[in-house]
Amino acid sequence: MTHELRFGEIDPLAIGAWILGTGGGGSPYLAQLCLKRLYAQGKRVRIIQPEDLDDDQMVGVASMMGAPLVLLERLVNPEELARAVQLMESTMNCKFTALMPIEIGGGNALAPFLAAALLDLPIVDADAMGRAFPEATNSSFSIGDLKMYPMALVDSRGVEAIVAKTPDWHWLERASRALCTEFGSVTATCKAPRTGAEVKKWGVLNTVTQSINIGRAVQNARERLEDPVAAVLAQESGKLIFQGKIMDVDRTTSGGFLRGNCNIAGTDSDKGQNIRLAFQNEWIAAFSGDEPVASTPELICLLDTESGESIGTETVRYGQRVSVVVLAAPGHLTTTKGLRHVGPRAFGYDFDYRSVFAA
Amino acid sequence: MKRIGIDVGGTNTDAVLIGDKSILESIKSPTTEDVMSGVVAALAAVAKDNADEIGAVMIGTTHFTNAVIERAKLERIAVIRIAMPAAASLPPGADWPKDLLEVVDPMIFMVKGGHEYDGRPLVPLDTDAIKEAAARIRDAGIQSVAIVGLFSPLTSECEDIAADILTQIIPDVQITRSSRLGRIGLLERENVAMLNAALKACGRKTIDAFKSALQQAGISAPFYLTQNDGTVVLADVAATSPVYSFASGPTNSMRGAAWLTGLENAMVADVGGTTTDIGSLVDGFPREANSVVTVGGVRTLFRMPDLLPIGLGGGTIVDPDAGTIGPKSVGYRITREALVFGGQTVTATDLAVASGRADIGDKSLVKHLDQSFVSDLMKTSDMMIEESVDRMKVSADKVSLIAVGGGSFLIPDRIKGVAEVHHVEHAGIANALGAAMAQVSGEVDQVFAGLGRDAAMAEAESIAVARAVEAGAIADSIKTIEIEDLPLAYLKGDSRRVRVRVVGDIQHDLG
């Protein structure tokens, strides 16, 4: 069973994806624009529910990889994403019957939709993170120890590359990143193919719908002049942990990541309190003094208090009025194995994950 | 040396004549239907017999913004984007509103070439395609062309070569290079270049009209146009880059506030007839918004002041039955409709007069207003201001606030979190003053690779200084007012994006 993504759902999908990006993942704006143009040309994308996948059905995982700043110049190209998918098909000598996003957070939520529109393939209502994370090792497919190779990379000049085999997820990341850098720090990719059975067992399910619902809740609240932050909280049963104003932000890059801290001074009911958000591309943890109050893998979303718009780690700045919202983490990420991949310690923090939803 | 500053707004045309450190003459007059006759009158009113002693005239105008918003006075353009095979999916104008696209009707060329973030060519530039484009542009009779190269803020080589080819084939063509106008962000920079190209003829015409207005007022001094960032450029240069004058109004008010008080770091509340803009001065210049700004529905990355507008101004309408204030305003009709001017509408100005905070019009006409009604609503108005000021503050420390604009009396003397509120004489013409005291600037926003932080910042600073000198600054007077760097994740070789802005005093022997 599939249903068609309506034109009016493209904006909510992008708004929701930007919120689920938890500060990273890159803005969905360009992909959103591309998808609308494809719709204007008569292309359509269907959504298929994961439970409707056959176990041996082949699913392609398409995404953009690279530096968000470079993407701002080279732009997203649906043709290149489609070529990455086709390259994988010819390499594996298989035919994909559906595509899916690797991460529902940020611009990559929409990337496979662009390929899907051109190739007339449905998109699975699922991803492998339920949010955005910096690396493929942070995905639920990595947590499930699924095969990580091969990986297809396509450059706009017509360079096509395959990382045929790697011993682990780390080497996949290193090898593909080296190619990506050589291409000019941006590339369209198709990651290791997944079977329907793998997607059903290890995918983070129904996240496309989740993203659209979050975006629609924000849109509706704005139209009715209601509180969009409250709308997100209600839609996702999330928890508002702090409201305040950005006081300062420090950023550095190390190891290819944008790292840093952002201090927020409380307003309203949090007046007199302070909170610090640590980031590594995405928001990773929130601290009150030295005490962690929220952390990955739960989704720390920094929203503009007035508009409900998501604020990224690259664009956060002094004076913004913000609400720190925490959304529950997908089940795959909170298991013992999952936490080894995406818990606080995976990002270099010396404390254990504790849910903000725990009593 | 004397200077005239003039701010041509939608409602008022304000002009001021300043000496070394003092205001010699000033006038606030309604903007006329034909605009220029009001400009001539205002110029004559402040210049009086001093026309010969005037060294420079600085003009702030909303002409170009209005042209885009009204979709009027725009010309047909061609766009040459040099980025293929990259960026192929979203052609120029991809995110423009349909009605604007129809008016500008760009002839689009997408050509192979451009660079990568590290300065390597993406692919060799296809000069044959540029020649072919030039011939077709010539045959179509299009006179204004925008040239946009991939990563051109880093290296404008492709744009420069294309411009040379174009000029050879169409000698009198008007060229806008995106590298001169915008930052990293291909679509936004291209949008700015296209708007600029579409405004070229309007720019020339407007500058010529100002030139003749000055002549009619007997002034022969060189004249400048104020820009979004609070600096000025010579009018003839401004004519080639009309987009730089988009947001000059609020910027001028804030610069004027700095001049009136001598404060370089403070918050400013600019109270007009309909809205109040709250912003921050950092080292004498408005703090800029670091985000996408839409002009007439087009996304841009302009250097615009970071302002919080609130629906409260001198003409804001009070609903006596509901006991609410705003957001509707009587606007420029205030001198007819407010109670103190003999009208029938209760406005914020009437409340200020009734509460004794202002003395405008005939205060006997508001005597009948209930005192507790007045003081409750003044409290509401004060709360709106207090909340907005707090929002725009960048630190918990107490700052000073300068109240300017025609409705500056609405700003209370005491605001929580504000050390001191400055109400000053001439606050009503701060915008014209800001224009009069403007300086020239140079800016750079580029990615530097493999230099290290200090070397990259030094390199950026020297480029910015060179640009300021080119724009007419005295080299010795140049100071850096903004420098920031953003290390870039994913990019190899210690890459960082550095943004520097410098300003300097105007070299008066120019022009």
pLDDT at B511: 34
**Span between the terminal Cα atoms of chain A, in Å:** 39
* Selected residues 26-45 of chain A with any CB under 8 Å from a CB in chain B: 30, 33-34, 37
- Over range B425-445, report the average pLDDT: 88
Residue A305 has pLDDT above 70, yes or no: yes
- Closest-CA distance, A27 to chain B, in angstroms, reads 12
pLDDT at A256: 66
Maximum alpha-carbon separation in chain B: 79
B392 residue type, one letter: M
List chain A residues with CB under 8 Å of B184.
Answer: 69, 72-73
Interface touch A253/B488, C-beta < 8 Å: yes
- From the list B186, B392, B396, the residue facing A73 with the nearest CB is B186
> Do B253-437 and B74-198 have the same topology in CATH?
no
Segment B397-410 shows an average pLDDT of 91
Q: Is the pLDDT of residue B199 over 60?
A: yes
B492 touches A: beta carbon within 8 Å: yes
Mean pLDDT of B336-358: 94
> pLDDT band at B508, cuts 50/70/90?
low
CB A286 within 8 A of CB A300: yes
Check whether B200 has a pLDDT greater than 70: yes
Give A37's contacts in chain B (Cβ within 8 Å).
89-90, 94
- Nearest CA to A11 out of A26, A31, A41, A38 is that of A31
Distance in Å, alpha carbon of A311 to nearest chain B alpha carbon? 11
**Range of weakest confidence among A19-23, A69-73, A108-112:** A69-73
Instruction: Name residues whose C-beta falls within 8 Å of residue B99's C-beta, 6 or more positions apart in sequence.
Output: B71
| CATH superfamily label, B1-72+200-246 | ATPase, nucleotide binding domain (3.30.420.40)
Cβ–Cβ < 8 Å for B148, B179? no
Which of A73, A179, A309 is the best substitution to test chain B (most B C-beta atoms within 10 A)? A73
Q: Which residue of chain B comes nearest to A322, CA vs CA?
A: B391
pLDDT at residue A357, rounded to an integer: 95
- B372 touching A (Cβ < 8 Å): no
Instruction: Identify the CA nearest to B4 among candidates B469, B471, B438.
Output: B438
Chain centroid offset of residue B19 CA: 25
Candidates A66, A251, A319; nearest CB to B490: A66
Strand order in the sheet with A239-254: A291-295, A282-288, A274-280, A257-266, A239-254, A321-327, A299-304
User: What percent of chain A has pLDDT above 90?
Assistant: 82
Instruction: Flag whether residue B490 sits within 8 Å of chain A, measured between CB atoms.
Output: yes
pTM of the model: 0.86
Kindly list the domain boundaries of chain B, sorted by start residue.
Answer: 1-72+200-246, 74-198, 253-437, 439-504
User: Which residues on neighbouring strands pair with residue B400, listed in sequence order?
Assistant: B420
Do A265 and B87 lie within an 8 Å CB cutoff? Answer: no
Q: What is the C-alpha to C-alpha distance for residues B2 and B18, in angstroms, rounded to an integer? A: 6
Neighbours of A250 (CB within 10 A): 9
Number of residues in chain A: 359
- Kind and range of the H or E element at B457? helix B453-470
- Calculate the dihedral angle through the C-alpha atoms of A236, A242, A245, A249, rounding to the nearest 10 degrees: -90
Task: Please state, in angstroms and rounded to a whole number, the distance separating the CA atoms of residues B253 and B286.
Answer: 10
Residue pair B153/B188 in contact (Cβ under 8 Å)? The answer is no
> How far is residue B493 from each of residues B445, B453, B458, measured CA to CA in Å?
18, 12, 18
- The secondary structure of residue B472, as a DSSP letter, is T
- Structural domains of chain A ordered from first start: 2-205 (3.40.1610.10), 227-347 (2.40.390.10)
How far does Cα B259 stand from its chain's mean position? Answer: 18
Query: What's the whole-number mean pLDDT along residues B304-309?
Result: 82
Q: How far is it between the farthest Cα atoms of chain A?
A: 62
Give percent of chain B above pLDDT 90: 51
Report residue B510's pLDDT band, with 50, 70 and 90 as the boundaries: very low
- What residues of chain A lie within 8 A of the CB of B291, using their CB? 315
Nearest to B270 by CA among B282, B280, B284, B283: B280
Per the document, the length of chain B is: 511
Show the tokens assigned to B299. Answer: 């996304």
Chain A residues 144-173 with a CB less than 8 Å from chain B: 156-158
**Percent of chain A as helix, strand, coil, to the nearest 5:** 40, 30, 35
Per-residue model confidence (pLDDT) at position B138 = 97
- Whether the ω angle into residue B30 lies within 30 degrees of 0, i.e. cis, is no
Using the Cβ of A272 and the Cβ atoms of chain B, whether some distance falls under 8 Å is answered with: no
Residue B494: alpha-carbon gap to chain centroid? 34
ipTM (interface pTM)? 0.91
The pLDDT tens digits of the residues spanning B132-186 come to 999 999 999 999 999 999 999 878 899 999 999 999 999 999 999 998 887 889 9
User: Which tops the pLDDT comparison, A251 or B412?
Assistant: B412
Smallest Cα–Cα separation from B96: which of B300, B333, B377, B305?
B300
> Region A181-186: what's the mean pLDDT?
91
Q: Residue A246 has which token pair?
A: 């950005």
Q: Grade residue B488 by pLDDT with cuts at 50, 70 and 90.
A: low
Alpha helices by DSSP H, listed for B16-62, are: 36-47
Helix, strand or coil for residue B73? coil
Nearest residue in A to B95, CA atom: A33
Q: Check CB contact under 8 Å for B490 and A319.
A: no
Asked whether the predicted pLDDT for residue B258 surpasses 60, the reply is: yes
Q: What is the pLDDT of residue B148?
A: 98
Q: Calculate how close chain B gets to A179, using CA atoms only, in Å.
A: 12
Measured between beta carbons, the chain B residues lying within 8 angstroms of A185 are 116-117, 490-492
Domain B74-198 bears CATH identifier 3.60.40: no
Q: A254 to chain B: nearest residue by CA?
A: B489
- Beta-strand (E) ranges in B31-167? 54-61, 77-84, 107-112, 144-149
**Chain A nearest C-alpha distance from B112 (Å):** 10
Indicate if the pLDDT at residue B191 is higher than 60. Answer: yes
Q: Is B162 in the A-facing interface, judged by CB distances under 8 Å?
A: no
Quote the crossing angle between the two packed helices A29-40 and A111-119, to the nearest 10°.
20
Strands B399-404 and A126-127: unpaired
Asked if the model's pLDDT at residue B304 lies above 80, the reply is no
What residue type is B326 in one-letter code?
G
Cα–Cα distance for residue pair A204/B468, rounded to 1 Å: 54
Task: Please state, in angstroms and rounded to a whole number, the distance separating the CA atoms of residues A231 and B284.
Answer: 41
CB pairs under 8 A between A and B: 111
> Is B358 in a helix, a strand, or coil?
coil
Average pLDDT over residues B257-277: 91
The C-alpha of A284 sits at a distance from chain B's nearest C-alpha, in angstroms, of: 16
Three-class secondary structure of residue B278 per DSSP: strand
User: A66-75, A186-195, B291-300: lowest mean pLDDT where?
Assistant: B291-300
| Structure token digits, residue A142 | 């990595």
CB distance B311 to B326 below 8 Å = yes
Q: What is the pLDDT of residue B448?
A: 84
B126 touches chain A (CB under 8 A): no
Residue A34 C-alpha, separation from nearest chain B C-alpha, in angstroms: 7
| Angstrom distance (rounded) from CA B328 to CA A350 | 55
What pLDDT is attached to residue A359?
Answer: 67
The residue type found at A107 is G
B122–chain A nearest CA distance, Å: 8
Beta-carbon-side half-sphere exposure of residue B124 (alpha carbons within 13 Å): 3
B217-235 pLDDT per residue, tens: 899 888 899 988 778 888 8
Q: Name the pLDDT band for B394 (thresholds 50, 70, 90).
A: low
Q: Does B485 score more than 80 pLDDT?
A: no
- Residue found under tokens 């004249």: B223
The residue type found at B40 is: V
* Residue B192 pLDDT > 80: yes
**CA B377 – CA B142 distance, rounded (Å):** 57
The alpha carbon dihedral of A112, A113, A115, A116 has a sign of: positive
Does B89 reach chain A within 8 Å, measured CB to CB? Answer: yes
Q: Does residue A357 sit at the B interface (CB-CB below 8 Å)?
A: no
Question: Average of pLDDT values for A95-101?
Answer: 97
Res. B418: pLDDT tops 50? yes
Residue range A246-254: mean pLDDT, rounded: 80
Taking CB atoms and an 8 Å cutoff, what residues of chain B touch A281? 489
What letter would DSSP give residue B121?
Answer: B
Nearest to A319 among B95, B117, B393 (CB): B393
Q: How confident is the model at residue A293 (pLDDT cuts 50, 70, 90)?
A: very high
A56: DSSP letter: T
Q: What is the mean pLDDT of residues A291-314?
A: 93
- In this prediction, residue B490 has a pLDDT band, given cuts at 50, 70 and 90, of low
* Secondary-structure breakdown of chain B: helix, strand, coil percentages, each rounded to the nearest 5: 35, 30, 35
Q: Which residue has the higher pLDDT, A251 or A313?
A: A313
Instruction: Share the mean pLDDT of chain A.
Output: 94
Distance between CA atoms of B152 and B433, rounded to whole angstroms?
A: 36
State mean pLDDT over B454-480.
89
Contacts of B179 in chain A (CB under 8 A): none
Report helix angle A78-92 to A111-119, nearest 10.
70
Contacts with B151 (C-beta within 8 Å, 6 or more apart), sequence order: A73, B114, B115, B116, B117, B184
Burial (CB < 10 A; 0-12, 13-18, 19+), residue A194, is buried
Q: Please tell me the CATH code under which domain B253-437 is placed.
A: 3.30.420
Closest CA to A143 of A284, A333, A348, A282: A333
Alpha helices in chain A (DSSP H): 10-20, 29-40, 68-74, 78-92, 111-119, 140-143, 169-182, 196-202, 207-223, 228-236, 331-334, 336-342
Please state whether B484 falls in left (phi above 0), alpha (psi between -120 and 50) or beta: beta
pLDDT at B151: 93
Residue B167 near residue B175, CB atoms below 8 Å: yes
Q: Which of residues 387-426 of B touch A (CB under 8 A)?
A: 391-396
Q: What is the mean pLDDT of chain B?
A: 88
pLDDT band at A25 (very low <50, low <70, confident <90, very high): confident
CA A249 to chain CA centroid, nearest Å? 23
Mean pLDDT of A142-164: 96
Kindly give, in sequence order, each residue whose CB lies less than 8 Å from that of residue A55, ignoring residues fewer than 6 positions away. A195, A196, A197, A200
Residue, of B74 and A254, whose pLDDT is higher: B74
Mutation site, B490, B495, B497, B499, interface A, largest A CB count within 10 A: B490
Tell me: pLDDT of B6 over 90: yes
CB proximity under 8 Å: B 138-157 to A: 150-151
Cα separation, B423 vs B445, in Å, equals 37
Q: Is the dihedral of CA B214, B219, B222, B224 positive or negative?
A: negative
Tell me: pLDDT of A268 over 60: yes
Measuring CA to CA, which residue among B331, B191, B303 is closest to residue B247? B303
Task: Tell me which residue of A132, A134, A177 sits closest to A280, measured CA to CA.
Answer: A134
Q: Are A302 and A324 contacting, i.e. CB atoms less than 8 angstroms apart?
A: yes
> Nearest by CB to B151, which of A73, A156, A319?
A73
Smallest CA–CA distance from B390 into chain A, residue: A319
Q: Please check the confidence at residue B290 and state whether its pLDDT lies above 80.
A: no
CA distance B261 to B15: 19
